[in-house]
A and B are shown apart, each in its own frame.
Chain A
Amino acid sequence: AQTVTQSQPEMSVQEAETVTLSCTYDTSENNYYLFWYKQPPSRQMILVIRQEAYKQQNATENRFSVNFQKAAKSFSLKISDSQLGDTAMYFCAFMKLGNTGTASKLTFGTGTRLQVTL
């Protein structure tokens, strides 16, 4: 079974600064996907970024980027130029790549609560 660990329950960053959220995972699979989801106070789960394990290049989406270290099983999220709207709970998630028609079960970490301050 896969496990996802987020060791930082809470973090704080000042507006316009950069912050990195940590995530490690444990799996014996070789083909998988990793995701970061954002959950603001509205509770909506919003996809931030995803990474395919077979790709060596780190994914980027505007101010969001990841540092994917497959051998170390590490998948951190960097938020640059932090904005007040980035305040949310951030979840790291793992998806095993299975056969079409089988479960795309997402395994989530326990989350990191990020507070962006003025």
Chain B
Amino acid sequence: NAGVTQTPKFQVLKTGQSMTLQCAQDMNHNSMYWYRQDPGMGLRLIYYSASEGTTDKGEVPNGYNVSRLNKREFSLRLESAAPSQTSVYFCASSLLAGTQETQYFGPGTRLLVL
């Protein structure tokens, strides 16, 4: 039982390049989330998926797209990376959205955009 896994752990991109961050969970959770963490700030929600087949914007969605591939996997795509997207990205999952279910986090992906 690995919990929430993320790949890659670290990535360097040039401005304008695209990439996809992968996230998978093996806890049979229904809901998944993508957050970003910037220096001196807490985590901020980018997108979430309350259940398989649904996605919605969070607090800072601009410049990102997501895909809920199946119940286990939720990917985050940067179509044209910008230096402002340099951050640490966390994926999380919970049993149900909108309830008291605790969110469990992956180890994070550190992204540097030059």
Q: Which of A45, A103, A105, A111 contacts B90 (CB 8 A)?
A: A45
Q: Which of B90, B99, B104, B105 contacts A104 (CB 8 A)?
A: B99
Given contacts A47-B104, A110-B40, contact A105 B45 (CB under 8 A): yes
Whether A97 contacts B98 by the Cβ 8 Å rule is: yes
Which residues of chain B come closer than 8 Å to A99, judged between CB atoms? 98
Whether A93 contacts B42 by the Cβ 8 Å rule is: yes
Given contacts A52-B100, A102-B97, contact A43 B107 (CB under 8 A): yes
Whether B107 contacts A101 by the Cβ 8 Å rule is: no
* Interface SS of chain B: loop
Complex CA distance for A50 and B59, rounded to whole angstroms:
23
Residue of B with least CB distance to A108 = B42
Residues of B at the A interface (CB closer than 8 Å) are 31, 33, 35, 40-45, 48, 50-51, 54, 56, 58-59, 88, 90, 92, 94, 96-105, 107-108, 110
Question: Does A4 make an interface contact (CB < 8 A)?
Answer: yes
Q: Which of A37, A52, A98, A101 contacts B51 (CB 8 A)?
A: A101
Q: List 6 A-B contacts (CB under 8 A).
A: A33-B100, A99-B98, A101-B50, A102-B98, A104-B103, A110-B42
Whether A35 contacts B102 by the Cβ 8 Å rule is: yes
- Complex A-B, nearest 3 residue pairs according to Cβ-Cβ distance, in ascending order: A108-B42, A45-B105, A98-B98
Whether A91 contacts B43 by the Cβ 8 Å rule is: yes
Complex CA distance for A89 and B16, rounded to whole angstroms:
33
CB distance from B7 to the nearest CB of A (A): 15
Q: Which of B42, B45, B98, B103 contacts A100 (CB 8 A)?
A: B98
Residue of A with least CB distance to B45 = A105
Residue of B with least CB distance to A42 = B107
Question: Does A62 make an interface contact (CB < 8 A)?
Answer: no
Residue of A with least CB distance to B43 = A108
Complex CA distance for A7 and B10, rounded to whole angstroms:
31
Which residues of chain A come closer than 8 Å to B92, judged between CB atoms? 45
CB distance from B99 to the nearest CB of A (A): 6
